[in-house]
Copies of this chain bind each other. A is one copy, B any other.
Amino acid sequence: MTAPQPEPRPAVPGLDDVVEIRRSMPQASVERLPGYLRVLTELSSHGVTSASSQQLAELAGVGPAQLRKDLSHLGSHGRRGVGYDVDTLRERVQTALGLVVELPVAIVGAGNLGHALANYSGFGARGFTVVALLDASPALVGTEVAGVVVEDVARLAEVVRDLEVAIVVIATPGDQAQRVCDVVVGAGVREILNFAPRALHVPEGVELRSVDLGSELQILAFHSRERSGRPQV
């Protein structure tokens, strides 16, 4: 569940390739930051002010060396011999993740999943606001879900621009996903989260993440079989 595109991150064609200013973080590290943030927020809310990489790693479910290296990409924020200041680090990670302001999210597809996502309280608690919910079904358009009136998907581009949507969640049936995706990209959105069971194609520069519930179960099924079944053919 990741960007499935075979885009081999193009080398920077900059003039001055001597000085590498882009101190970019490895994708794998980025994907662990939300986990660290969760742990730090939890500790903070319990009044814990300091923690070692050992402790944080245990809670986040990773190795201590990995956590330290991940955090080192954000700069030095721990104190040798002591550990990390929980609140300072939390704020640092939060900033790195761009969660200083609430980001407006639109959900396309108000079926089972879209409905559940709109009601999911975790969004608000984690820095996002669902500002729009859209669907193609006339029966749903106009109804209110989670405090938001469902709009016609035909108004998608308009809504995205008017509300300055930063991230679009696609929760439509598979056969409509690519069409919706194209409209969304056309409207200028560059962060898309796809729940439809299809591989979507996006132009370079657009970040796409896909989560497919069926696939997750199938991956588990593979391991289940690997154990009890015969060792392939």
A16 within 8 A of B: no
CB–CB B22/A221 < 8 A: no
CB–CB B220/A191 < 8 A: yes
Return the CB mask of A88-103 against B: 1 if under 8 Å, else 0: 0000000011110001
User: Which chain B residue has the least Cβ–Cβ distance from A27?
Assistant: B219
Return the CB mask of A189-233 against B: 1 if under 8 Å, else 0: 011110001111100000101011111111111111111010111
Q: Residue A220 contacts which of B24, B197, B207, B229 (CB distance < 8 angstroms)? A: B207
Residues of B contacting A113 with CB < 8 Å?
A: 116, 120
What DSSP secondary structure best describes chain A's contact surface? mixed
CB–CB B1/A214 < 8 A: no
Q: Residue A221 contacts which of B63, B98, B232 (CB distance < 8 angstroms)? A: B98
CB–CB A197/B38 < 8 A: yes
Q: Kindly state the interface size class of chain A when it binds its partner.
A: 35 or more
CB–CB A35/B215 < 8 A: yes
Q: Residue A35 contacts which of B4, B39, B125, B220 (CB distance < 8 angstroms)? A: B4
CB–CB A103/B224 < 8 A: yes
A residues 169-186 in Cβ contact with B at 8 Å: 169
18 sample A-B contacts, Cβ–Cβ < 8 Å, listed by A number = A6-B62, A6-B63, A23-B232, A33-B219, A34-B212, A34-B214, A34-B215, A34-B218, A35-B215, A38-B197, A38-B215, A59-B199, A60-B199, A75-B232, A98-B224, A126-B214, A209-B216, A211-B216
Chain A residues with a Cβ under 8 A of chain B: 1, 4-6, 21-24, 30-31, 33-35, 37-39, 57, 59-63, 66, 74-75, 96-99, 103, 105, 112-113, 115-117, 119-120, 122-123, 125-128, 166-167, 169, 190-193, 197-201, 207, 209, 211-227, 229, 231-233
